[in-house]
Amino acid sequence: MEMELSLEQYETLLKLVYMGDWVISTLQAKDRSEDEPDSDSRYADVVRHVFSQAEHAGLGNIVQIDQNNGEPYLTREFEEESGLVDILEDYEDEVFWQALIERLAHRDFLRHFGETAISQMAIEERIEKETPFHDRWATEFHENGLENIKT
């Protein structure tokens, strides 16, 4: 199967593949020990293939080949100049705040109503009653960040 992409589309594809690989690699690293190999090479194979075609597509200047293992990778300059680093940092930041808000809101919801009462609520009622806890934490973090969090 052949796919025709403009230079701009291929560059965007490289960025998307890089970001997807970054997410998958982060999750795989979390779930394996140091001496254990990647748990699923399907992703790495696609990354390798898309990156290795960059020179043929006219984007050889943003992909280099590692001299030690022969693996293609995006140049550090491209990562920084293309905004990829900023996108991934913004993504990490957003995931952090959303997960923190969700977890604290759910904790407080459980403490306030108890598991038994919550298990008897319809989903609509759960959402209605948990939303104020979510809103409280979202407002707190929006206004104060972590300033008021104490150990």
pLDDT confidence tier of residue 33, bands split at 50, 70 and 90? low
Task: Flag whether 150 is in a domain.
Answer: no
Q: What is the mean pLDDT of residues 17-36?
A: 79
One domain for residues 60 and 22: yes
- Give the tens place of pLDDT for each residue, 38-70: 456 889 999 999 999 999 999 989 999 999 998
pLDDT at 35 exceeding the cut of 60: no
pLDDT at 82: 93
Return the higher-pLDDT residue of 62 and 28.
62
Q: Compute CA 63 distance to the chain's CA centroid, rounded to the nearest angstrom.
A: 22
The amino acid at 104 = L
How many independent structural domains does the chain possess?
Answer: 2
CA distance 40 to 25: 10
Question: Do 102 and 133 reside in the same domain of the chain?
Answer: yes
46 and 103 co-located in one domain: no
Same domain, 35 and 57: yes
- Contact between 105 and 141 under an 8 Å Cβ cutoff? The reply is no
Answer for the pair 45, 34: CB distance below 8 angstroms, yes or no.
no
- Separation in Å, CA 133 to CA 46, 82, 146: 42, 38, 17
Q: Per-residue pLDDT tens for 110-136?
A: 999 999 999 999 999 999 999 999 999
d(CA 143, CA 151): 20
**Are 43 and 24 within one domain?**
yes
Token pair 């020179």 is found at 55
What range defines the domain where residue 95 resides?
A: 85-144
- pLDDT of 22 above 70: yes
Say whether both 68 and 13 belong to one domain.
Answer: yes
pLDDT at 1: 73
Indicate if 76 and 92 belong to the same structural domain.
Answer: no
- For residues 61 and 123, membership in a common domain is answered with no
Is the Cβ–Cβ distance between 63 and 72 less than 8 Å?
yes
Q: What are the pLDDT digits (tens) for 70-123?
A: 899 999 999 989 999 999 999 999 999 999 999 999 999 999 999 999 999 999
